Amino acid sequence: MHKMHNTPLGRVFDVFNHIFLALLGLATFIPFVYVIAGSFATESEIAARPFFLIPETITTAAYDYIFSTTTFIRSIGVSVLVTVLGTLVSLLLTMTMAYPLSRKKLLGRNLILNLVVFTMVFNGGMIPTYMVVKSLGLLDSLWALILPVAINPFYLIIVKSFFQNLPSELEESAKIDGCSDMGVFWRIVIPLSKPVIATFTLFYAVFYWNDFFNALLYISDSAKWPVQLLLQQLMMVANMDFGEMDTMLADPPEESLKMAVVVVATVPILIFYPFLQKHFAKGILLGSVKG
């Protein structure tokens, strides 16, 4: 996309485009800056100023509290483990299932696809799923956070359609060269799908990172609680059930502490994206084959 000739209108568009996107970036990012600022601010400042980007007095008290015990560090460790393992399992299962389904002549394909689409809108609900997880002996195991949600049917359908758009000539020539379907999948399809893999790595990783509900249902051992569950503990106490808030035994968590936990629980997954971004560009390869 270099050295394109640019019309005056195009140049106006460029200027507008840059300004608009820069403003959008600011608008989306500034509230997070407020959260970061709040995590370093004193309670009285948070109460006194409705919104600020730099605290008047900077204090690390909230972080000192968070890191005064190993609890949060351990829970981040749990989250990282579940996210890495879960993303690997999910990608593997999604890719291996999506590829055969992208082959239109496969017998039984339509039945399977219909059954998959069905699960996107119909589900058994919390209690029956719990029963299955329990009967598989997964309770209190980190696998309970991964296996019941290993394939997202939405992602499966999207990956399948990505595969469908791959040029079939490639597969055919590979087959002529003596590759089996399995060989085509691992040696041709997977290498060509880097942007897809990068995208769904991100999607699954973010999903696993943000999930707290499955941990709430399936994990009793607090040593295996992910960081989002701790965040939930702190955020919910004060907000949802305000009227019934049980503050008699323990004071409600301080605002700065809540914000610090948000920062601690969010930043690891945030920095994951820029790292993945460069892999999106590698999809160029795919196009060059087409041409």
Interface with other proteins in residues 178-207 (CB under 8 A): 178-183, 185-187, 195-196, 198-199, 202-203, 206
Closest by CA to 205, choosing from 106, 47, 84, is: 84
**Chosen residue from 15, 19, 31, 53 binding other proteins by CB under 8 A:** 31
**Chosen residue from 59, 61, 76, 100 binding other proteins by CB under 8 A:** 100
To other proteins, the closest distance from the beta carbon of 25 in angstroms equals: 4
To other proteins, the closest distance from the beta carbon of 40 in angstroms equals: 16
d(CA 99, CA 120): 19
Q: Distance between alpha carbon 130 and the CA centroid of its chain, in Å? A: 23
3-state secondary structure 181-197: HHHHHHHHHHHHCHHHH
**Chosen residue from 63, 163, 204, 225 binding other proteins by CB under 8 A:** 225
Site for other proteins in 271-290 (CB under 8 A): 273-274, 277, 280-284, 286-288, 290
To other proteins, the closest distance from the beta carbon of 235 in angstroms equals: 5
Q: Crossing angle for the helix pair 272-280 and 194-210, nearest 10 degrees?
A: 160
To other proteins, the closest distance from the beta carbon of 192 in angstroms equals: 9
To other proteins, the closest distance from the beta carbon of 53 in angstroms equals: 12
Site for other proteins in 43-62 (CB under 8 A): 43-44, 46-48, 50-51
Closest by CA to 132, choosing from 124, 120, 122, is: 124
Query: x-or-dash pattern for other proteins, window 233-272, by CB under 8 A?
Result: xxxxxxx--xxx-xxxxxx---x------x---x--xx--
CB 273 within 8 A of CB 184: no
The amino acid at residue 169 is E
Site for other proteins in 76-95 (CB under 8 A): 89, 92-94
**Chosen residue from 116, 174, 205, 264 binding other proteins by CB under 8 A:** 116
Q: Note whether 151 binds other proteins by CB under 8 A.
A: yes
To other proteins, the closest distance from the beta carbon of 80 in angstroms equals: 16
To other proteins, the closest distance from the beta carbon of 200 in angstroms equals: 9
d(CA 17, CA 35): 28
CB 81 within 8 A of CB 74: no
| Strand, coil or helix: 245 | coil
d(CA 84, CA 78): 10
**Chosen residue from 82, 230, 260, 264 binding other proteins by CB under 8 A:** 230
To other proteins, the closest distance from the beta carbon of 184 in angstroms equals: 9
As a whole number of Å, the CA-based R_g of the chain is 24
Binding residues with other proteins: total (CB under 8 A): 163
Site for other proteins in 160-179 (CB under 8 A): 161, 164-165, 167-169, 171-172, 178-179
CB 209 within 8 A of CB 79: yes
* End-to-end CA gap in the chain: 16
